[in-house]
């Protein structure tokens, strides 16, 4: 039975509200047989949605429709800490008694009273609300392309077809902050658009029901239930964005946007239809002017127009369509009023950079004769030979962990020092701005210190190489302004020579439609409206380097056309002036191959590169196997294995008191321990003795060790740290233990690697290998 008595004091774990103050005009009508809030589900929900977040959680309760009672909304803010689940459970219990539903904004804010989109500080989940159509088919489509979600909640509602409405949740590996919140919201909208979900979740402040609370609607009372929980399922934001980008629309879902509302005229009609005073037309002058001003304000706010262009558009509409025109002062007042309202609702505007690209009226064109007669010198390469030309775009691609960042940093530092690197030559020390979004500050400085660079190169590049720590931003309008200011601040006296963006994926902005890297339209938007506009704003002759990931291809596909491996849209390859692909043809070999494709110069052969002594060097391609390379590598490994087996056997046999000449060893171990015949063993021993891995004990040195005399050319075989058990016994002076007597075998002779002659060892205690040979 329900206890309607009122205690003397409110419970301590409810904050910012009095749980016993009724806000309904009518007495609550509760189904005593209905579901009640479930504290365990509420705790699970709070962990998934807020477990990593700091700050305050905006919570809201109000009376759902269809109950026949009224009431005002009630808002509280809970601290996102360990006590939050218990406080939420208490609040949900109180709300249930009042017939009210419980919602949260799935993000945290800084202070009580805040709940606007611009005030959200952290979000750790991506959610989609499925409330129409075939819910089961939509869930299956998402799970097939995006993987299992962290949590699935049945919200309580039922579609006309009888399916239960659902909220699908994915937890991120870390809370999104700053510009990443916009990426999360765009991601929520993209998923909803592709499966036919609720598009309201494009907004950061869209509330959602709390799992474990009670759903009241249309005389129905039921629990908001968790029906699936995969608590360990978390997604990296960048990888999840890529997965959503690759996900096709669900069957029957159209991606064509609807720009007009059925109750309002289409914006295209507003902008071209005259409006007379006195309400003589379908809409008034005020309605037309407000709609047109609002349209241009949105364009400016989103960075699709400059402020001057927006004001020109407003004035043009006023002059062409309003009969009579509004006075300029009234136009300004109305524009400022609507602008302030728009900024208050949607946050600060995005400022658009002006492009220096020529417009149609100033498009250059030259006759064949003019081009042939122009004898002026060619512009100087930024990086020769024609790898990066003035105003050019270079794309460097490579798989993760192939050494792309290490190679890039070494290359850029050499260019900043004015020193050639792997055959790439700068005309002078270059001013380089390295815009990177992968490595945090402390790990960036650690990596720069770990990369082995000549001291003179580091000294020359100290002031001409400028790098950012890991950035959490998109290269959209606002991000472009920040980058332009940072570059100009870094190099105030002279323009930058190279702007390097690493990687594309973490900074990609596909434009107003929110397309991903696999969308050719979005990629062209990013290249033309973001990268080119930023470059033209900084310096039209500045070279740009973009770092990109590659997708998985077979070795044969990479061999046939390595540039097909670049991730994303094919538009990227048609746009750049230079392309470089770093890949490892053989995973068991440390060497990498750098493929080069040029638009502005003659083809360059691929470079085989490797790290030697911590520094990148170019390997002579003449030393690279061209025919049956895999088979040759296996033979190399087999020969190395046999050499190691021979050395091990010699060591083990000496501990048994046995020592061999070359002929004796070959005959004794023929076809044993994975070795070949006697001739093959002699061949391996000849190689090992030439390299200095195996040496000899002969003549007086052998007699001094008590070894029987031998008439062979070489004597007995000896390896480094070889110990021979003599068969005699020795007594340990400390323990009295009787042990086999062992003596260390030192070489007396070695084979000269140049002549093959057997020569005396100068110092038997120091083991010397042939020059340039590894043991």
Percent of the chain with pLDDT over 70: 83
The band of 741, judged by pLDDT with boundaries at 50, 70 and 90, is confident
3-state secondary structure 171-240: EEEEEEECHHHHHHHHHHHHHHHHHCCCHHHHCCCCCEECCCCEEEECCEEEECEEEEECCCCEECHHHH
Average pLDDT of the residues in 306-314? 82
3-state secondary structure 235-296: ECHHHHHHHHHHCCCCCCCCCCCCCCCCCCCCHHHHHHCCEECCCCCCCCHHHHHHHHHHHH
pLDDT of 481: 83
The band of 43, judged by pLDDT with boundaries at 50, 70 and 90, is very high
- Alpha helices in 675-754, H assignment, sequence order: 678-691, 700-704
Q: pLDDT, tens digit, for every residue of 630-674?
A: 666 677 778 888 889 999 999 999 888 889 998 899 999 999 888
Average pLDDT of the residues in 297-314? 79
In the chain, % helix, strand, coil (3-state, to 5) comes to 35, 20, 45
pLDDT of 146: 92
Whether pLDDT at 219 is above 90: no
Whether pLDDT at 281 is above 70: no
pLDDT of 726: 80
DSSP state of 162: S
DSSP state of 71: B
The CA distance from 534 to 529, in Å, is 8
The CA distance from 724 to 655, in Å, is 5
pLDDT of 68: 54
Q: pLDDT, tens digit, for every residue of 151-168?
A: 999 988 888 888 999 999
The CA distance from 610 to 600, in Å, is 27
Task: Please give the residue that has the higher pLDDT: either 276 or 490.
Answer: 490
- Alpha helices in 12-156, H assignment, sequence order: 39-50, 84-97, 135-146
The band of 9, judged by pLDDT with boundaries at 50, 70 and 90, is very low
Highest mean pLDDT: which range of 232-246, 278-292, 301-315: 232-246
CA angle, residues 26, 155, 217, in degrees to nearest 5? 25
Whether pLDDT at 701 is above 80: yes
* Residues shown for the chain: 775
Given a contact cutoff of 8 angstroms between Cβ atoms, the answer to whether 64 and 209 are in contact is no
Average pLDDT of the residues in 527-540? 88
The band of 66, judged by pLDDT with boundaries at 50, 70 and 90, is low
pLDDT of 632: 65
The CA distance from 117 to 199, in Å, is 15
The CA distance from 564 to 572, in Å, is 11
The CA distance from 274 to 224, in Å, is 52
Average pLDDT of the residues in 768-773? 66
Q: What are 234's strand-pairing partners?
A: 171
pLDDT of 564: 82
Whether pLDDT at 18 is above 50: no
DSSP state of 661: B
Given a contact cutoff of 8 angstroms between Cβ atoms, the answer to whether 429 and 458 are in contact is no
For residue 62, what is the enclosing H or E element?
A: strand 56-63
The band of 273, judged by pLDDT with boundaries at 50, 70 and 90, is low
pLDDT of 529: 86
Percent of the chain with pLDDT over 90: 35
pLDDT of 646: 93
The CA distance from 666 to 646, in Å, is 10
Q: pLDDT, tens digit, for every residue of 389-430?
A: 999 999 999 888 888 889 999 999 999 999 999 999 999 999
pLDDT of 351: 56
Average pLDDT of the residues in 275-279? 53
Whether pLDDT at 39 is above 60: yes
pTM of the model as a whole:
0.45
The CA distance from 198 to 188, in Å, is 9
Whether pLDDT at 519 is above 90: no
pLDDT of 649: 93
pLDDT of 730: 72
Q: pLDDT, tens digit, for every residue of 426-465?
A: 999 999 999 999 899 999 999 888 888 899 999 999 999 9
Buried (b) or exposed (e) across 210-236, using 16+ Cβ within 10 A?
A: bbbbbbbbeeebbbbbbebbbeeebbe
User: Tokens 């009787």 belong to which residue?
Assistant: 738
Task: Please give the residue that has the higher pLDDT: either 188 or 331.
Answer: 188
Q: pLDDT, tens digit, for every residue of 602-634?
A: 888 999 999 888 889 998 766 555 545 566 667
pLDDT of 442: 92
Given a contact cutoff of 8 angstroms between Cβ atoms, the answer to whether 142 and 100 are in contact is no
Low-confidence winner among 41-55, 177-191, 699-713 (lowest mean pLDDT): 699-713
pLDDT of 629: 59
DSSP state of 403: S
Q: Roughly what angle, to the nearest 10 degrees, separates helices 39-50 and 84-97?
A: 130
Q: pLDDT, tens digit, for every residue of 75-122?
A: 899 999 999 999 999 999 988 888 888 999 999 999 998 988 889 999
pLDDT of 307: 79
Highest mean pLDDT: which range of 164-168, 278-282, 740-744: 164-168
The band of 285, judged by pLDDT with boundaries at 50, 70 and 90, is low
Q: What are the angstrom distances between the C-alpha of 226 and each of 45, 129, 239? A: 8, 14, 26
**From edge to edge, which strands make up the β-sheet containing 749-751?**
716-719, 694-697, 749-751, 758-760
The CA distance from 449 to 644, in Å, is 37
Hey, what are 692's tokens? 């200095």
Cβ-based neighbours of 334, under 8 Å, separated by 6 or more: 289, 290, 293, 326
CA angle, residues 548, 554, 560, in degrees to nearest 5? 85
pLDDT of 277: 56
């Amino acid at each position: 039975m329900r206890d309607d008595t009122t205690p003397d004091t409110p419970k301590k774990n409810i904050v910012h509200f009095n749980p016993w103050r009724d806000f309904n005009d009518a007495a609550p009508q509760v189904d005593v047989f209905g579901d009640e809030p479930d504290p365990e589900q509420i705790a699970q929900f709070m962990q998934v949605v807020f477990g990593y977040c700091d700050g305050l959680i905006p919570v809201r309760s109000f009376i759902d429709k269809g109950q026949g009672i009224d009431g005002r909304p009630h808002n509280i803010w809970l601290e996102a800490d360990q006590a939050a689940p218990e406080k939420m459970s208490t609040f949900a219990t109180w709300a249930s008694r009042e017939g009210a539903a419980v919602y949260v904004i799935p993000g945290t804010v800084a202070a009580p009273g805040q709940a606007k989109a611009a005030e959200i500080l952290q979000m750790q989940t991506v959610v989609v609300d499925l409330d129409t159509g075939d819910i089961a088919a939509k869930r299956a489509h998402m799970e097939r392309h995006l993987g299992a979600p962290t949590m699935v909640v049945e919200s309580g509602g039922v579609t006309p077809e009888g399916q239960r409405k659902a909220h699908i949740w994915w937890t991120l590996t870390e809370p999104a902050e700053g510009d990443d919140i916009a990426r999360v919201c765009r991601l929520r909208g993209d998923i909803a658009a592709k499966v036919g979900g609720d598009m309201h979740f494009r907004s950061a402040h869209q509330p959602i029901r709390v799992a474990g609370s009670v759903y009241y609607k249309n005389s129905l009372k039921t629990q908001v239930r968790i029906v699936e929980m995969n608590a360990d399922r978390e997604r990296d934001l960048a990888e999840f964005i890529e997965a959503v980008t690759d996900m096709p629309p669900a069957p029957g879902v159209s991606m064509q946007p609807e720009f007009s509302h059925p109750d309002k005229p289409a914006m295209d009609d507003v902008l071209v239809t005259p409006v007379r005073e006195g309400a003589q037309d379908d809409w008034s002058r005020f309605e037309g002017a407000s709609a047109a001003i609002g349209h241009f304000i949105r364009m400016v706010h989103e960075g699709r127009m400059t402020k001057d262009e927006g004001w020109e558009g407003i004035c043009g509409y006023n002059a062409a369509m309003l009969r009579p025109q509004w006075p300029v002062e009234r136009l300004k007042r109305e524009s400022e009023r609507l602008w302030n309202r728009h900024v208050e609702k949607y946050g600060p505007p995005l400022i658009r950079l002006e492009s220096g690209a020529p417009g149609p009226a100033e498009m250059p064109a030259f006759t064949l004769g003019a081009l042939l007669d122009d004898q002026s010198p060619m512009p100087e390469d930024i990086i020769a030979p024609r790898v990066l030309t003035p105003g050019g775009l270079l794309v460097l691609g490579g798989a993760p962990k192939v050494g792309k960042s290490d190679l890039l940093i070494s290359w850029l530092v050499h260019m900043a020092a004015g020193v050639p690197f792997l055959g790439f030559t700068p005309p002078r020390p270059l001013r380089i701005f390295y815009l990177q979004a992968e490595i945090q500050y402390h790990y960036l400085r650690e990596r720069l210190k770990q990369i082995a660079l000549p001291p003179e190169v580091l000294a020359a590049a100290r002031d001409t190489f400028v790098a950012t720590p890991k950035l959490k931003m998109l290269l959209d309008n606002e991000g472009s302004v920040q980058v332009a200011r940072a570059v100009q601040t870094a190099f105030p006296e002279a323009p930058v020579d190279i702007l390097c963006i690493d990687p594309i994926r973490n900074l990609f902005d596909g434009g107003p439609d929110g397309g991903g890297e696999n969308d050719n339209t979005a990629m062209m938007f990013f290249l033309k409206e973001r990268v080119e506009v930023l470059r033209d704003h900084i310096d039209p002759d500045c070279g740009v380097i973009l770092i990109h990931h590659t997708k998985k291809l077979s070795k044969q596909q990479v061999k046939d056309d390595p540039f097909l491996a670049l991730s994303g849209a094919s538009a990227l390859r048609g746009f750049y002036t230079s392309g470089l692909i770093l890949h490892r043809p053989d995973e068991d070999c440390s060497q990498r191959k750098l493929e080069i494709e040029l638009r502005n110069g003659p083809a360059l052969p691929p470079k085989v590169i490797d790290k030697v002594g911590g520094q990148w060097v170019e390997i002579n391609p003449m030393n690279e196997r061209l025919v049956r390379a895999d088979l040759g590598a296996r033979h190399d490994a087999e020969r190395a294995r046999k050499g190691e087996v021979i050395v091990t056997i010699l060591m083990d046999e000496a501990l048994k008191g046995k020592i061999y000449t070359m002929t004796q060893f070959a005959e004794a171990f023929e076809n044993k321990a994975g070795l070949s015949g006697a001739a093959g063993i002699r061949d391996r021993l000849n190689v090992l003795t030439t390299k200095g891995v195996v040496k000899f004990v002969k003549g007086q040195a052998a007699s001094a060790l008590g070894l029987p005399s031998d008439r062979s050319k070489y004597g007995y075989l000896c390896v480094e740290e070889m110990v021979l058990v003599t068969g005699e016994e020795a007594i340990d002076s400390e323990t009295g233990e009787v042990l086999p007597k062992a003596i260390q075998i030192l070489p007396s002779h070695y084979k000269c690697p140049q002549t093959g002659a057997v020569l005396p060892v100068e110092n038997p205690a120091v083991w010397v290998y042939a020059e340039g040979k590894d043991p």
